Amino acid sequence: MTTQIGVSFDGSLDEDSIWTWCSRVIATFSCSGEKEVNLAVEDAKAAFKIWRQKSGLERGRILLEAARIIRERTDEIATVESINNGKSILEARLDIDTSWQCLEYYAGLAGSMAGEHIQLPGGSFGYTRREPLGVCVGIGAWNYPFQIASWKSAPALACGNAMVFKPSPFTPVTALLLAEIYTEAGAPPGLFNVVQGGGATGQLLCQHRDVAKVSFTGSVPTGTKIMEAAAKGIKPVTLELGGKSPLIIFADCNLENAVKGALMANFLTQGEVCCNGTRVFVQKEILDKFTEQVVQQTQRIKIGDPLLEGTRMGPLINRPHLERVLGFVKGAKEQGAKVLCGGDPYVPEDPKLKDGYFMRPCVLGNCRDDMTCVKEEIFGPVMSILSFDTEAEVLERANNTAFGLAAGVFTRDLQRAHRVVAELQAGVCFINNYNVSPVELPFGGYKKSGSQPVGIVTAQNRGASREGFGRENGRVTIEHYSQLKTVCVEMGDVESAF
């Protein structure tokens, strides 16, 4: 089916259709069906045969070259990403930075993939080899299109795998630039293949018998389906899912930083960020002061054309999503929350932008834990402020959620900061900051956000790897894109039982 990117999306969600935020067609392409998915996997298999023979150092060299090209083309890729997704050009550039940084990081690790050597009786010995899995599938969400494609492909390729990647149909464009760059850097054709489409294409990929692993970023309901499909083929999965993360502001914090942190935790990429700290718990003593400053700064956020340098918030991804987010604000009011600012559609003066899906960022006061806006992931620019008295109380309330992606704490008390994060049920915790993404640190969730604390502890990952559904970034991700082979070597004669 041929689809157009950029047709205004006002109707029902057709998974095979592509749209952009401002009613303009920017490209057309065909969604992949069974035939195209088979071709993509076949190509990736052929590339894998070549790629797996290369040493880690050789693979690393190609990844480094790809990182260099991305860095060199940052402005161009960021511009396309901004059109692709609607995020401000400033943020898009930061995403591109975290993308080439990820490739550089895994380029460095590629040569360090190693097993163990184990002495056995009589001079015999064993060793382990860390080997690639084969053709891996990456399926992305629409909020960080280029970054997600990079964060999935870099560790996969560094470990010697090939990848077939499917971006979200809402943001199909920039993954193609990444594919082009890998090829230009010297990767065998088909090593990083992109197929386009929605859920149906995603399912074909997950069910494909030649696919060894699926790495998915998206919502919990889709993650459940991916896991089901992968379970049928006994395939490992990495699941990076949704969240409703707490941000805890203690009265002894540096207030200026806490206010900045709360904005960073809520309003990047129009609030469409999985790890956002949308439940902002503020200790009673500073509630009024904090709220006043947060509202003031939120009202100053410049909304508009994301390609303009001064813009800090662009449009949401599509009309149904905008309406969904506005619906949460309406519901919050009905449940007793107070809209302290924003929460309504925004129409920029520029006539070219009048059909864009803009809204004013919203701060909700008078929130309670039982409100829908506090319990459910909104995935839009809506911050809920809640007050608390004691550390024990806020910890219990912060953890009272099925999600567990991220959490943050602002305090000047060093002991309290570490005591609190040790108790928070979240995969990524921030102390005195929020939503920074160093690629050296693993990223992923607890509970329904991505994983349960199970997993296998090896000599290499001891103390680090206990996550069931994987992580992105950091050294630990090597474990999730490779498998361990044990080789047992006899130096004497066979002692037969027969």
Given candidates 86, 138, 188, 243, which one binds ligand NAD under the rule CB under 6 A? 243
Contacts 24+ apart (CB under 8 A), 285-288: 285/251, 286/249, 286/251, 286/253, 286/255, 287/385, 287/387
**Positive or negative CA dihedral for 475, 478, 484, 488?**
negative
Given candidates 113, 177, 275, 286, which one binds ligand NCCCC=O under the rule CB under 6 A? 275
**Pairwise CA distance, residues 143 & 274, whole Å:** 9
Residue 243 binds which entry of ligand NAD, ligand NCCCC=O, none, with Cβ cut-offs from 5 to 8 Å by kind? ligand NAD
**Pairwise CA distance, residues 248 & 253, whole Å:** 10
412-441 positions binding ligand NCCCC=O, by CB under 6 A: 437
- Measured torsion, CA atoms of residues 346, 350, 354, 356, in degrees rounded to the nearest 10: -70
Counting residues that bind ligand NCCCC=O (by CB under 6 A) gives: 6
Site for ligand NAD contains 166 (CB under 6 A): yes
Please state the closest distance from residue 441 (CB atom) to ligand NCCCC=O, in A: 11
137-166 positions binding ligand NCCCC=O, by CB under 6 A: 143-144
- Of the two residues 64 and 268, which places its CB atom closer to ligand NAD in the complex? 268
Tell me, letter by letter, the H, E, C secondary structure of 223-285: HHHHHHHHHHCCCCEEEECCCCCEEEECCCCCHHHHHHHHHHHHHHHHHCCCCCCCEEEEEHH
Q: Which residues neighbour 132 within 8 Å (Cβ) at sequence distance 6 or greater?
A: 48, 51, 52, 159, 160, 161, 481, 482, 483
Site for ligand NAD contains 168 (CB under 6 A): yes
User: What stretch of H or E contains 429?
Assistant: strand 428-431
Site for ligand NCCCC=O contains 175 (CB under 6 A): no
First to last CA, the chain: 64
Please state the closest distance from residue 355 (CB atom) to ligand NCCCC=O, in A: 26
**Pairwise CA distance, residues 37 & 39, whole Å:** 5
- Of the two residues 197 and 243, which places its CB atom closer to ligand NCCCC=O in the complex? 243
Residue nearest to ligand NAD (CB): 202
Q: Is 228 a catalytic residue?
A: no
Site for ligand NAD contains 207 (CB under 6 A): no
- If you compute the radius of gyration of the chain from its CA atoms, what whole number of angstroms results? 24
Residue 283 binds which entry of ligand NAD, ligand NCCCC=O, none, with Cβ cut-offs from 5 to 8 Å by kind? none
Compute CA distances 348 → 21, 124, 360, whole Å: 13, 74, 11
- Of the two residues 85 and 387, which places its CB atom closer to ligand NAD in the complex? 85
Instruction: Locate the DSSP E strands across 109-203.
Output: 117-119, 125-132, 135-139, 162-166, 192-194
Counting residues that bind ligand NAD (by CB under 6 A) gives: 29
From the list 82-90, 140-148, 184-192, 485-493, the region that binds ligand NAD by CB under 6 A is 140-148
Residue 483 binds which entry of ligand NCCCC=O, ligand NAD, none, with Cβ cut-offs from 5 to 8 Å by kind? none
Compute CA distances 337 → 300, 359, 380, 394, whole Å: 22, 18, 17, 19
β-bridge pairing 246-249 and 279-283 = parallel
Site for ligand NAD contains 206 (CB under 6 A): yes
Please state the closest distance from residue 171 (CB atom) to ligand NCCCC=O, in A: 13
Task: Give residue for tokens 């896991």.
Answer: 227
Please state the closest distance from residue 289 (CB atom) to ligand NAD, in A: 31
Site for ligand NAD contains 405 (CB under 6 A): yes
311-350 positions binding ligand NAD, by CB under 6 A: none
Residue 257 has, within 13 A of its CA and on its CB side, a CA count of 17
Closest CA to 102 of 161, 164, 176, 153: 153
| Tokens coding 145 | 């299109």
Given candidates 23, 88, 98, 217, which one binds ligand NAD under the rule CB under 6 A? 217
Q: Is 401 helix (H, G, I), strand (E, B) or coil?
A: coil
Please state the closest distance from residue 219 (CB atom) to ligand NAD, in A: 3
| Residue in 65, 81, 104, 240 annotated catalytic | 240
Burial of 352 (0-12, 13-18, 19+ CB in 10 A): exposed
From the list 3-11, 110-118, 234-242, 251-259, the region that binds ligand NAD by CB under 6 A is 234-242
Site for ligand NAD contains 199 (CB under 6 A): yes
Site for ligand NCCCC=O contains 273 (CB under 6 A): yes
Given candidates 24, 45, 54, 225, which one binds ligand NAD under the rule CB under 6 A? 225
Residue 437 binds which entry of ligand NCCCC=O, ligand NAD, none, with Cβ cut-offs from 5 to 8 Å by kind? ligand NCCCC=O
Site for ligand NCCCC=O contains 270 (CB under 6 A): no
What is the residue type of 319? R
Residue 242 binds which entry of ligand NCCCC=O, ligand NAD, none, with Cβ cut-offs from 5 to 8 Å by kind? ligand NAD
Helices then strands, counting H and E runs in the chain, come out as 15, 17
From the list 229-237, 273-281, 306-314, 331-339, the region that binds ligand NCCCC=O by CB under 6 A is 273-281
**Pairwise CA distance, residues 338 & 364, whole Å:** 5
Phi, psi dihedral angles at 194 (to 5 degrees): -115, 130
Which parts of this chain interact with ligand NCCCC=O (CB under 6 A)? 143-144, 273-275, 437
Which parts of this chain interact with ligand NAD (CB under 6 A)? 139-144, 166, 168-169, 198-199, 202-203, 206, 217-219, 222, 225-226, 240-243, 274, 377, 379, 405, 445
Q: List the catalytic residues.
A: 240
